[in-house]
Structure 1
Amino acid sequence: MSGTPINLNRARKARDKVKKRAQADENAVKFGRTKAEKSKDTAERDKATRKLDQHRRDT
């Protein structure tokens, strides 16, 4: 054994924090998109909506 006692609560919390950070990094790679990508998708969606509305017939 090592000579110094350790705080088990602190060790458990540190271990959980590392696990949560790893999970967050994995989710960021899997689901994350940059702000530029989000704004580009929004602009494309708005453009498609405007184009569709321009082709509507008035009743």
Structure 2
Amino acid sequence: MADILNLNKARKARAKAQASAKAVENRAKFGRTKAQKAADEAERARISENLDGARRE
């Protein structure tokens, strides 16, 4: 015979797993420190200035 399955617990476990996966995705997407954001912005500014300096008239 099959084991008894509590559908409410299965539904909650599935929702918890989906929320956990979403949290991992969000940490990768938005979980950066202020210093990392500032370093990226400085890198973008440096690249932009370098391109502007190499532009021909």
* TM-score normalized by the length of structure 1: 0.50
Give the partner amino acid of 1:22. Answer: S
Superposition RMSD in Å: 2.7
Q: Which residue in the other structure is 2:32 paired with? A: 34
Higher Cα radius of gyration: 1
User: Does residue 1:57 correspond to 2:43, yes or no?
Assistant: no
* Per-residue CA distance 1:16-53 (angstroms, 9 max, x = gap): 12211332344345x33415223431331122111220
Q: Which residue in the other structure is 1:15 paired with? A: 13
Q: Which residue in the other structure is 2:47 paired with? A: 48
- Secondary structure of the equivalent of 2:20? helix
**Structure 2 CA distance for aligned equivalents of residues 48 and 17 of structure 1:** 44
The runs of 5 or more residues in structure 1 that have no matched partner are: 1-6
**Structure 2 CA distance for aligned equivalents of residues 44 and 51 of structure 1:** 11
The percent of aligned pairs where both chains have the same amino acid is: 22
**Structure 2 CA distance for aligned equivalents of residues 39 and 21 of structure 1:** 30
* TM-score normalized by the length of structure 2: 0.51
